Amino acid sequence: MYGIRTSFIGDIAGFIATFIRVFIGSIAGYKGRIIEEILMGITKVLITISPIVTHDLPLLRYIAGRIAIMLQEKLLGLDQ
């Protein structure tokens, strides 16, 4: 029962994303070069940011965890 709900929410999100993409693509195709260039610029920025975030995320989690442990040790007086 719970898996069906999760799948249904994913399907709805996929359909909404598809309609938004078709709408934006239609506007870009109708209006011409300027809108298309702006949308491609935004797309290139998002494509560039995505690997940076996914590559550095484990490192950032590790650093945040180490900082949290050090703060806990300081607050509890466990550091020697």
| Residue range 8-57, pLDDT digits in tens | 888 888 888 888 888 888 888 888 888 888 888 888 887 787 776 667 77
1 pLDDT above the threshold of 70: no
Q: Report how far apart the first and last C-alpha atoms of the chain are (Å, whole number).
A: 52
pLDDT band at 73, cuts 50/70/90? confident
Amino acid letter at 41?
Answer: G
Q: Are 37 and 29 in contact (CB under 8 A)?
A: no
Token pair recorded at residue 72: 């806990």
pLDDT of residue 65: 85
Angstrom distance (rounded) from CA 7 to CA 1 = 10
Tally the C-alpha atoms within 13 A of residue 77's C-alpha that lie toward its C-beta. Answer: 0
User: Residue 1 has what DSSP assignment?
Assistant: -
